[in-house]
């Protein structure tokens, strides 16, 4: 029997059977990707490129997610971390690469700055710094310069044209 104050150094978590081997859709905290086409609206330039980059980076990999909260549409907002290859998986959430920062460094997303933005262990300034470096280096969505509309501007522009039926469908998507 362990002495007073002693406890296990690791907490093992149980994965419910209904979630085991399932894909769980999350919203990556702190970043905003180009909007894809949906409900008859055109997608933004680079939306497919950004999604393709993300798929190549995460498919088939173990990813730790620190759950932050649910957003106004009921989506899970999380901070995904990809463990470094030489670190044991149980330590990956502490010694891993932030997927949001990787996406910003690759120039595939912008920093999410709307109300209720969450950045996890990083902060807004760090995210903006990585975005600025990608813009300067013209990586990803910035390869043709600073022209084009941000995902936030795109959403604002299309929000005024949403019908009530579209806005209720939107709550479950993207």
Listed range (64-73, 100-109, 139-148, 163-172) with the worst mean pLDDT: 163-172
Q: Which pLDDT belongs to residue 108?
A: 93
Could you give the residue numbers annotated as active site? Answer: 27, 35, 75
Higher pLDDT, 62 or 107: 107
Higher pLDDT, 74 or 23: 74
Contact 33, 151 (CB under 8 A): yes
pLDDT greater than 90 at residue 144? no
- How many Cβ atoms are within 10 Å of 120's Cβ, its own excluded? 19
What value does the mean pLDDT take over residues 143-168?
69
Q: Which pLDDT belongs to residue 162?
A: 57
- The predicted-structure confidence for 87-118, as pLDDT tens digits, reads as follows 565 554 557 788 999 999 999 999 998 877 88
CA distance 137 to 93: 29
DSSP 115-168: TT---TTS-HHHHHHHHHHHHHHT-GGGTT-S-S--HHHHHHHHHTT--HHHHH
Higher pLDDT, 41 or 95: 41
Residue 22: C-alpha distances to residues 17, 102, 104, 126 (Å): 10, 24, 27, 32
pLDDT greater than 80 at residue 1? no
Q: Which pLDDT belongs to residue 120?
A: 80
What value does the mean pLDDT take over residues 7-28?
64
């Amino acid at each position: 029997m362990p002495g007073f104050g002693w406890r296990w150094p690791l907490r093992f978590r149980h994965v419910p059977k209904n979630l085991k081997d399932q894909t769980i859709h999350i919203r990556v905290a702190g970043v905003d990707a180009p909007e894809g086409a949906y409900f008859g609206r055109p997608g933004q330039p680079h939306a497919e490129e950004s999604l393709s980059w993300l798929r190549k980076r995460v498919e088939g990999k173990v990813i730790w997610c620190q759950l932050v909260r649910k957003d106004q549409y009921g989506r899970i907002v999380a901070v995904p971390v990809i463990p470094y290859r030489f670190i044991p998986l149980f330590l990956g959430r502490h010694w891993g690469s932030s997927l949001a920062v990787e996406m910003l460094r690759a120039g595939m997303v912008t920093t999410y700055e709307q109300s209720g933005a969450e950045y996890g262990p990083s902060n807004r300034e760090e995210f903006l710094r990585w975005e600025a470096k990608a813009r300067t280096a013209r990586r990803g969505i910035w390869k043709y310069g600073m022209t084009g509309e941000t995902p936030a501007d795109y959403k604002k522009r299309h929000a005024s044209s949403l019908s009530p039926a579209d806005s209720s469908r939107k709550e479950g998507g993207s």
